Amino acid sequence: MLRVSCRDIGIDDCDFVAEGDKVRKAENAMVDHLLDAHPHVVQGLTDVQRRDLETRIKSGMHGLPPELAAHEAEGHLTLHVSCADVGIAGCDFVARERKVRKVEERYFDHLRDQHPEAVAGLTNDQHRELEHRVKEAIRHE
């Protein structure tokens, strides 16, 4: 289960925790909460500010279930995405990290280094679609 709390994104006076089995579900739960409980955080945002908020939410997201929380300090990795998950056949690379943002960074670094044809020449819309496919493919181990 992926989790992100208000405290993870800099709202220290709220104990709300959004959960979801997929990145998008946890993100949506947090945005719904922000709209209800902290409308001043989301109202009137420009596209750039909205993307910055989404980045803060993903950066604060973690996927350790409660029974594994004690292993967090030991570097237990729980989130992953592979080339096969995104539709790239013949590559066994798997990006593993504790935070969604780190998994995405590691995976896109791999794409640029090992599969430049997969990202070269993409329009902004195509790049956003690829980012969306990667987010949807990230799973909890």
Domain layout of the chain by residue ranges = 2-61, 74-140
Residues whose CB is less than 8 angstroms from the CB of residue 113 and which lie 6 or more positions away in sequence, other chains included: none
What is the tens place of the pLDDT at every residue in 81-101?
A: 999 999 999 999 999 888 888
Tokens of 128: 């956003």
Q: Where are the alpha helices (DSSP H) in the chain?
A: 23-37, 39-42, 47-60, 83-86, 100-114, 116-119, 124-137
Token pair 């195509």 is at which residue? 126
Tokens of 77: 């990795």
Q: What's the pLDDT band for 74 if we cut at 50, 70, 90? A: very low
Q: What is the mean pLDDT of residues 27-35?
A: 93
Per-chain mean pLDDT for the chain: 84
